[in-house]
Each structure stands twice: as C-alpha cells, then as structure tokens.
Amino acid sequence: MEQSYINKSDRAASYALRLLRVRPQTISEIKRRLSRKGFDSEVIDQVINQLKNLGYLNDLIFTQSFIEFCSEHRPVGRRLLSVQLLKHGVSREIIDQALITLLSEDELACRAVKSKFQKIKLVEREQIINFLLRRGFSYSVANQTVKEFISQ
C-alpha cells in the first residue's frame, strides 16, 4: 500500500512539473488539473507543498509576472487584469497587493492606444474609446486618452 501511495505522489509531481514547464501556473490551477487527473486530495496537497517549498509555485510571483507581461505586451485596465487573475485562481488579496506596482491607468491606456492605432491614419473617436473600454479601462480614462492621442 505504501509503495502505491509513493507512486501516486511521484506521478502527480511529475505531471505538475510538466504543466509548469509549459507555462507558470497558480496553485489553484495545479490543484484543479491534478484533481481532474484523478489524484486524491492528500496527494495533491503533498505535491503542492513540495512545489511551494521548491519555489515552483508562488501565486504572488505568478501575479506580478502576469501583470508585467500584460503591461508590456497587451496593456489592459486594472479591472480586466483583476478578472483575468481571478480566473487563474489568484486570491483577491494577492491581486490587490500586486496591482500596487502597476503603472497608472492613464499610462496603460496610452500604451494600448499607441500599439493598436499607431499605424492607422484615420480613426474614429468612438472606435478608440470602445477599444479601451473592451480592454477594461474606465470611460473617463478612455475619454482622456483619446483627447491626448488626437491632439498629438
């Protein structure tokens, strides 16, 4: 019986490490995937603790790198970032803690508009506002960004 438990634990750890090789994961994502694979909660908790102790699982680091990546490559507003991180299973406290380091909404909105509309010559004002609203920015930030973008 003991041998079987060790094999399950090793197989669960191996599977979790394969998932982490593809992309960083949250604790919640790993738990969900291991559970879906049929591992029992005792084995899952053991594997999660091992991975946390080794530094492979850390929701705060995941959140900070996710925010950094989005800020650089696909700027979105705080609201949309929060929703996306909640979908990954990150707790509200960790999200709030990580969002402190985020650039201002105005700066993110300017980056989003520049990356999207830099090559387009004639852009409707409403088109830019709608783009920013879909990216999770508030109407006031979107409106102010459009005024700045058009005046350039």
Nearest to 66, CA basis, from 89, 47, 49, 33: 89
Mean pLDDT of the chain: 85
Q: What is the pLDDT of residue 123?
A: 64
Is residue 149 pLDDT above 90, yes or no?
no
Nearest to 133, CA basis, from 123, 143, 119: 143
Quickly state the pLDDT bin for 147 (edges 50, 70, 90).
confident
Q: What is the pLDDT of residue 3?
A: 47
Nearest to 101, CA basis, from 78, 135, 80: 78
pLDDT digits (tens, 9 = 90+) for 94-138: 998 888 877 777 788 877 777 776 655 556 778 888 888 998 888
pLDDT digits (tens, 9 = 90+) for 57-75: 999 999 999 988 888 888 8
Region 11-39: what's the mean pLDDT?
94
Gyration radius from the chain CA atoms? 20
